[in-house]
Amino acid sequence: MTSTGEAWAFWILATVAVVTALVLLLARKAVHAAFGMAASMVALGAIFLAQQAPFLGVVHVFVYSGAVMMLFLFVVMLVGVDHADSLVETLPGQRFWSTVLALGLAALLMTGIGRVNYTGTADLSAVNADPGNVPAMAGLIFGRYVWVFEITSLLLITAAMAGMVLAQRQRLTPKATQREWSERRIRSNTHVAGLPNPGVYARHNAVDTPALQPDGSISALSINRTLKARGQVASPVEHVEAEERIQREITEGRTR
Amino acid sequence: MTPVYTLAAAQVVTEVQPTVDASGAASWAWLLVALPLLGAAIILLGGRSANRWGPTLANVMSWGAFGLGAAILIEMLGRAGDERAQSLHLWQWFTGGSFEVNAGMLVDQLSISFVMLVTFVGSLIHVYSLGYMEHDPDKGRFFGYLNLFIAAMLTLVLADSYVLLFLGWEGVGLASYLLIGFWYQRSDYASAANKAFIVNRVGDMALAIGIAMMFVTFGSADYSTVHGGAAGAPEWALTAIGLLLLGAACGKSAQFPLQSWLGDAMAGPTPVSALIHAATMVTAGVYLIVRSNAIFDLAPTARLVVTIVGAITLLLGAFIGMAKDDIKKALAASTMSQIGYMMLAAGLGPVGYVFAIFHLLTHGFFKAGMFLGAGSVMHAMNDQVNMRRFGRLSGVLKHTWWTFGLGWLAIIGFPGLSGWWSKDKIIEAAFVGEGWQPWVFGLVTMLGAGLTAFYMSRLFFMTFHGSGKRWTEDVHPHESPLVMTVPMMILAVGSLALGAILTAVKFPEWLAPVTNGGHLEHHEPVLAIPAIQILTFVLMAAGVFVAWRLYWKADVPVVAPEGSALTQAARTDFYQDDVNEAVFVGPLMTTATGLVEADDQIVDGGARNLGDGVAGLSRVLRRAQTGFVRSYALTMLAGVVAVLGALWVMN
Amino acid sequence: MNQEFTMVEINYWAIAPLLVVVAGALIGVLVEAFVARASRHNVQLGVGLVTYLAALVVLLAKSRTEHGLTMGGSVVIDGPSVFLMAVILCFALLSLLVMAERFGGPAADAFTPMGAATPGSDLERSAESAGWGTTEAVPLMMISVVGMMLFVSSGDLLTMFVALEVLSLPLYVLTGLARRRRLLSQEAALKYFLLGSFSSAFFLFGAALLYGYAGSVDIARIALAIGAASPVLDGLLLPGVALVLIGLLFKVGAVPFHAWTPDAYQGAPTPVTGFMAAATKIAAFGAILRLAYVGLSGNRWDWEPALIAIAALTMVIGAVMTVTQTDVKRLLAYSSIAHAGFILVAVMSFDVTGVSGAMFYLVCYGFTTIAAFALVTLVRHEGSEATDLSQWAGLGRRSPVVAGAFAICLLAFAGIPLTSGFTAKFAAFAPAISHGGAAGAWLVVIGVLASAVTAYVYFRIIVTMFFEEGAGDVVAITPSTLTTIAIAIGLVLTILLGVLPGPVLEAATQSAQFLR
């Protein structure tokens, strides 16, 4: 039978794991989702610990919350922290039926699993004593399930190749050096002095803010095209307005 | 699987003719199929160059098959009675689980009769096509298809199991489909070929399910096992199998309610109509029923349904034949009606099987002859088919006229000609029995004889005789070349004499071991035979007379020329015809037109609606395929919940 | 520590074919790294061919007789697994020949020059003009083949799951590598991946429930546990069975888990589609057969009704949906769904003849399918595949050989006698009739009706090809010798298995007995 303490621990941790998993699913922002996943994995790791499987519990936390989540966060940072997906549902009935069916599935599984009754005590202490928690696992991984373990490596190879095939943009031509760039500019007589810098304002100075041209219009060329593609270009209007305000204060103050 | 019902389980009603291993010429029977098949393969793979040598090769192959068939027949005639049925094991086709299907051939009296019909008429039509298709740019392909058809048809009749028969069944369907659509430039083609295809599928499906039922019931689909075990099987199973076989036969033989495709199939070249849609393929349904006599003998209900279907089709075909002006469609309706006779005869059971086949053989000759004649007429008239545009062709197309005339006399059952020998036997057989059946079926067949006489005479008079030439201006009729007329002459000789010859050589008695367990019993009709013969003759004469009044003596009303003196003189007759029409022909014609319309509306509509229904369902289901992955996932989830829910409820 | 570590018994001859393909795949990966780009295509093709042939030889020469469990029970070498592995290798060999088609260009024609390049970008264009190609497809396919071979021979649910992933992951990638209509291809890959993961999750969850029920993931132990029947744990059994089977049914494209099929089939490079249709189906059915016949047959009365309903639904919906399709690849996708239903009918007979019937069907269907998709790659309009049915009008007269060959494939799909389709349908339906009881008979009736519907569709295509006038600019291009060989083998077997199915059917019957 499960001890009371273990039961308490299970229900608390399980609740945390499920709720944070739902956060992963429903959060609008990638960072929140990442947090939800990390928390869920930690809770699961703790459940393993409570089940007398310390190695598994710790590895679980290490691998998922440590390694995988870090990679995930790197990606999130590269993509842009404030990048949020549109969650507007366009298909009629999709939300409703998803909810209904998900709840139905949960209900069906629970009615089945809820009827189950295990007898006897689940206790790993004998195994943990001899041969020990880690050796026992090693015995399974390198013994009975060695074939599965080895074959899993093919998944990693596939993943690596898939990454290469789908994401690696190889250059077909050598990258132009700065010298070549300037030669090209002069030869074509366009932007001989280089493209304009981003905007530099009294109160603001950033790469995402376009520069103003002498006539007051915005110079589109002054912004990196990656930022432009991501739609992360800041509008210089507020800075210009502030400047105009100062200007006005100065001139008005003079006339006043 | 051990057969559920074993041979010895119950009393055996019909003796199944025992077979011996094939020897002599019959051991070469596989060549009957192989020769034309080889021809088809060579020609169809030969591409464009086959247009030069293909026709000759196809003829050689077809005549070769005929020669071999004749050799087998002659050798069979020389054998003792109990050694005539020979089985030829080819190879073990496949074993599906515990079922074993062997590819083998059964060469017996029934199949050799068909072999002779198919190869002889087929070869004649090959010859005829040399002339008919001479200027067609794709004639190589045409002859390839023709050979393919011969091979498939011979497979059908020589098979020793229902599975192999099914192969031939599909093969002739394919060949027919390809040939109906041979002139795909014609716009009306697509719907015709498609209709033929859909309707035939219904029949094929019935056959497939029937074969499946045979496997369930007998553990095999060999003729020997099925027919041998039929006595031990429960009647409901036999009735079900019988009805399914009937369904198959209805599809292939254009019987009610699956008759609608045959008229449209006339879109194909005329030699095809003659060979496939008159003489051979469409009679496959009759073959199937007669071949399965062991089943039908023990399933009286199924047999009764066969008879009723035959009777309905017989009359329906006759009425349609009266209403059609298209010469080929009128002939097609007549084919339908004549096959109705055969089905009716086959449904009568042991008294009718042999006469069904007898009529089938004679019909094969005279109907093929008439179709070839129709082709010759069309050839002469710039491919027109409207009989109201013919008339008085007898003078121009002498050979066509007399050959067609013999066919006409044969089909209306003029005493002494081949149709009379076979059709009268069917009418007599229809009058055999007890209760209401002999009277109903007997009178139907008799009435059918009168109607046949009317519409065939109408066709014949409108085309070759009548008071005037109603030709369109641009036609200059001329007789077809000898290569076309000689086959017609040979078939005309068949129309004249085949019935008498087959009667003289005691064909029914010869065939009886296959169909009737060896002994042909004679039954007395409820009406005296001379009375039947006289009544039939009177009805026939009446039919011819009415047609003569309407379509020979009188102008054909629709295209009555105006103003000429001749027309003025004809006017008086015309009034009389009006009366005739109002009193006698009118109601008949109204019925006929009505039936034709009903046929178009209900049966075609049914086929169309079925197709539309499937397509509509498909369109509705297609909406589920939105392209959104989350909606797909939702479908999957719904499936999971449904499966789990259903299992939960059930347990 | 007084418990010594014991190594599992490894019968190297039994798993040698798998190891050969793994080795081939790894060599293929190394080729990508070390061989000059210009010669990669040929080298990869050589490696692939040699690998498959060598694996086939090893399988037939040595592993065939090594019946038994090995690797601690993870791998089962028995009749069905040897048969199915051999067939998978044959399919892979043929598919590779088609995939390697270059049509005279520098790289495989079906695959994108650079998967990472934005569709339609300058980079993609310059990669194309530089003659680049995705030669990684060959090792990816080999990995997938390993997964398939393992899938049909796995002795426990864990191995089965890993095999499922090993076979699926490369296919997801391959789906996204079409040279033309890149966006469609990428979308298809993503859909396939997402839905595949979804179904994998169901499989895994079911496997976990079954582990909870039986205390083991071994299929044999699960069978024992079901036989011993412990009512307290019953709540785990049925959901576990259902979810595991659902995971597998997804792979065969059974309704309602079929939604990915048309999109993935349409988007994937056509030779890959052929490979997926033929080989994935056989692998998944191998696993279904093993689970249903060995592991879960003890309580089949409980879950059989659901599978019967799914089989019926699959046949009907697959057939009906073919009617309104206008794209050849989508049409063949729905036809493959219908065929999955037909095979399920054989599975539902629960007799050893059902195993051989299903296996024979898979063989017949696979060869025809590979040939059919290979023929689809040949029909071109302005250089890219003309997959819209209206574009096929009149093809029979411009390219009679290609159209004729395709017509043979269609006749086989329709189940016309003298083609493999007929004998296959017979082999699949016969056991259902003799052993499937009333449900089996009803399934056969539905199957016959469904095949009548699909036959109508196939004949309509034949009519379109041969009897309709079409625009003259859609032509069939001449393939290289390798593709021609693949197509010819497919067609010859389509006919041969229809006329003389004896040897293969005999082999299937001989190898239909599962090791329990």
Q: What does the pLDDT look like over A86-108, one tens digit per residue?
A: 667 777 888 898 999 999 999 99
- Asked if C435 is an interface residue toward chain B (Cβ–Cβ < 8 A), one would say yes
pLDDT of residue B587: 52
pLDDT of residue B567: 38
Question: Taking all residues of chain B, what is their mean pLDDT, rounded to a whole number?
Answer: 77
pLDDT of residue B10: 34
- Chain A closest-CA separation from residue C269 CA (Å): 15
- Do residue A104 and residue B648 have CB atoms under 8 angstroms apart? no
Residue C356 within a domain: yes
Contacts of B628 in chain A (CB under 8 A): 91
- What CA–CA distance (Å, rounded) separates B274 from B7? 42
Residue C339 near residue C252, CB atoms below 8 Å: no
Residue C1 within a domain: no
Same domain, B151 and B222: yes
- Do residue A91 and residue B641 have CB atoms under 8 angstroms apart? no
CB within 8 Å of C157: residues ≥ 6 apart: C207, C210, C211, C217, C219, C222, C244
- Chain A closest-CA separation from residue C88 CA (Å): 18
Same domain, B159 and B36: yes
Same domain, B223 and B76: yes
**Chain C residue with the nearest C-alpha to that of A107:** C239
Which domain range does residue C390 map to? Answer: 12-510
> Hey, which bits of chain A come out as E strands?
211-212, 218-219
Residue B363 near residue B449, CB atoms below 8 Å: no
Residue B467 near residue B394, CB atoms below 8 Å: no
Average confidence (pLDDT) over B633-650: 88
Same domain, B511 and B598: no
H-type alpha helices, B298-397: 300-323, 327-347, 353-380
Token code pair at residue C246: 């659902």
Average confidence (pLDDT) over B592-597: 55
- Do residue A105 and residue B637 have CB atoms under 8 angstroms apart? yes
pLDDT of residue A149: 92
Same domain, B277 and B164: yes
List the single residue in C324, C433, C463 with the smallest CB-CB distance to B193: C463
* Lowest mean pLDDT across A59-73, B86-100, C127-141: B86-100
- Do residue C500 and residue B629 have CB atoms under 8 angstroms apart? no
Same domain, B400 and B479: yes
Residue B234 within a domain: yes
Residue B382 near residue B487, CB atoms below 8 Å: no
Same domain, B550 and B573: no
Name the domain count of chain C. Answer: 1
What torsion do the CA atoms of C375, C376, C380, C383 make, to the nearest 10 degrees? -100
- Asked if B645 is an interface residue toward chain A (Cβ–Cβ < 8 A), one would say yes
List the single residue in A94, A109, A112 with the smallest CB-CB distance to B634: A94
CA dihedral (B107, B108, B113, B114) positive or negative: negative
User: What are the two backbone dihedrals, phi and then psi, of residue B103, each rounded to the nearest 5 degrees?
Assistant: -90, 115
pLDDT of residue B517: 66
pLDDT of residue B256: 77
Same domain, B575 and B645: no
Same domain, B134 and B248: yes
What torsion do the CA atoms of C329, C331, C334, C340 make, to the nearest 10 degrees? -80
Cis, peptide link before residue B530, omega less than 30° from 0? no
- Chain B closest-CA separation from residue A96 CA (Å): 11
Q: What is the CA radius of gyration of chain A?
A: 30
Query: What do you get for the CA distance between the two ends of chain A, in Å?
Result: 88
Residue C218 within a domain: yes
Same domain, B216 and B140: yes
DSSP state of C135: T
- Chain C closest-CA separation from residue B638 CA (Å): 8
Which domain-ending residue is among B512, B532, B559? B559
- C75: part of which helix (H) or strand (E)? strand C75-77
Average confidence (pLDDT) over B117-134: 85
Contacts of A114 in chain B (CB under 8 A): none
- Do residue A158 and residue C140 have CB atoms under 8 angstroms apart? yes
- Per-residue pLDDT tens for A24-42? 888 877 888 888 988 999 9
Contacts of A152 in chain C (CB under 8 A): 162
DSSP state of C178: B
Q: Is the pLDDT of residue B444 over 90?
A: no
| Per-residue pLDDT band at B574 (split at 50, 70, 90) | very low
- What CA–CA distance (Å, rounded) separates B636 from B639? 5
Nearest to C62 by CA among C39, C86, C80: C86
| Per-residue pLDDT band at B237 (split at 50, 70, 90) | confident
Q: Which of B636, B641, B648, B650 to substitute to test the interface with C, most C CBs within 10 Å?
A: B636
List the single residue in A109, A132, A158 with the smallest CB-CB distance to C169: A158
List the single residue in C250, C306, C466 with the smallest CB-CB distance to B647: C306
User: What are the two backbone dihedrals, phi and then psi, of residue C385, each rounded to the nearest 5 degrees?
Assistant: -65, 135
C-alpha distances out from residue B273 to B193, B288, B327, B331, Å: 13, 21, 12, 10
Residues in chain C: 516
Complete edge-to-edge strand list for the sheet that includes strand B99-107: B20-21, B86-96, B99-107
Which domain range does residue B410 map to? Answer: 364-559
DSSP state of B232: G
Token code pair at residue C3: 């418990």
Interface of A with B in 102-131 (CB under 8 A): 102, 104-105, 108-109, 111-112
- What CA–CA distance (Å, rounded) separates A56 from A75? 27
**Chain B residue with the nearest C-alpha to that of C460:** B194
- Asked if A97 is an interface residue toward chain B (Cβ–Cβ < 8 A), one would say yes
Same domain, B174 and B195: yes
List the single residue in B630, B631, B644 with the smallest CB-CB distance to A108: B644
Residue B471 within a domain: yes
**Chain B residue with the nearest C-alpha to that of C323:** B615
**Chain A residue with the nearest C-alpha to that of B638:** A101
Residue C515 within a domain: no
- Chain C closest-CA separation from residue A117 CA (Å): 6
CB B271: neighbour CB atoms within 10 A?
A: 28
Nearest to C501 by CA among B63, B510, A221, B94: B94
C-alpha distances out from residue B171 to A243, B175, B209, C45, C109, Å: 90, 6, 18, 41, 38
CB C480: neighbour CB atoms within 10 A?
A: 15
pLDDT of residue A25: 86
Q: Which of A151, A156, A170, A225 to substitute to test the interface with C, most C CBs within 10 Å?
A: A151
| Per-residue pLDDT band at B583 (split at 50, 70, 90) | very low
Residue B644 near residue C242, CB atoms below 8 Å: yes
- Asked if B190 is an interface residue toward chain C (Cβ–Cβ < 8 A), one would say yes
CB within 8 Å of A149: residues ≥ 6 apart: A141, A142
| Residue where the block lists tokens 């976990």 | C208
| pLDDT: which is higher, C331 or B319 | C331
CB within 8 Å of B404: residues ≥ 6 apart: B369, B370, B373, B374, B460, B463, B464, B488, B492
Residue C86 within a domain: yes
Interface of B with A in 600-629 (CB under 8 A): 626, 628
- Per-residue pLDDT tens for B608-630? 566 677 777 777 777 777 778 88
Vertex B232: Cα angle to B227 and B236 (nearest 5): 90
DSSP state of B384: -
Residue B323 near residue B585, CB atoms below 8 Å: no
Number of A/B CB contacts below 8 angstroms equals 31
> Strand B86-96 relative to strand B20-21: parallel, antiparallel, unpaired?
parallel
Name the domain count of chain B. Answer: 4
- Per-residue pLDDT tens for A108-128? 988 888 888 777 667 778 888
pTM of the model: 0.75
List the single residue in C317, C349, C426 with the smallest CB-CB distance to B94: C426
- Per-residue pLDDT tens for B394-437? 777 788 888 888 888 888 888 888 888 888 888 888 888 777 88
- Do residue C198 and residue B92 have CB atoms under 8 angstroms apart? no
Q: Is the pLDDT of residue B70 over 60?
A: yes
- Do residue C72 and residue A144 have CB atoms under 8 angstroms apart? yes
Same domain, B520 and B444: yes
Residues in chain C predicted with pLDDT less than 70, given as ranges, are 1-3
pLDDT of residue A86: 67
Residues in chain A: 256
pLDDT of residue B179: 80
Residue B426 near residue B354, CB atoms below 8 Å: no
